[in-house]
Each structure stands twice: as structure tokens, then as C-alpha cells.
Amino acid sequence: MAQPNRWYVYVVRCNDGTYYTGVSTDLRRRINEHNGGKSGAKYTKVRRPVQLVYFEETSSRSEATKREWRIKKMTRVAKKELVAGGI
């Protein structure tokens, strides 16, 4: 899944039904970290397992971070609609 110079913004659904949004260059590795590694986000560590429900590919970290910020500002309803579009 990882490609050189590619960044991904992603949304995972946590075990408690909440959403977590992040950025990474390697989605598979990052989801594995969220589900069991020591490098997972503090938020997801207590809400395992998580499931990847949405991602977008971008060409730079800056672009991915900006999109992450916009998604994080969305309401829960808007995030559900985004996710409904699916992977």
C-alpha cells in the first residue's frame, strides 16, 4: 500500500463506535500499530480493535495534514457520510 512520496489521510472506526483520523505513509503498518503496537495513538489504545473505514491518497505531508484537520473538524454525522462513501 505504501508508495514513495505518497501520504494518506485515514479514518478508523474504534471498537466503541468513535472515529479517529490520522496521516501515514504506510496504512497497513499504521493500522497494525493502532491495533497492537506500542506506536498506536493514545486515543485508540483503549478502543481496540480499530477498523480502517476510509482513506485518501495525497502527494505531500502538508496536503494530508490539512485534510486531516478538516476531517477532524467535521461533525460525527458528516464523518459518517464521508465513511459511507467507503474505501
**55, 3 Cβ separation under 8 angstroms:** no
Spans of all domains in the chain: 7-84
pTM of the model: 0.90
Question: What CATH number should be reported for the domain whose range is 7-84?
Answer: 3.40.1440.10
Does 86 score more than 80 pLDDT? no
Residue-wise pLDDT for 6-41, tens only, equals: 999 999 999 999 999 999 999 999 999 999 977 788
Tally Cβ neighbours within 10 Å of residue 39.
10
Average pLDDT of the residues of the chain: 92
Number of helical (H) and strand (E) elements in the chain, helices listed first: 4, 3
Which ranges of the chain does DSSP label H, i.e. alpha helix?
A: 27-36, 42-45, 61-72, 76-84
Give the mean pLDDT of 43-66: 96
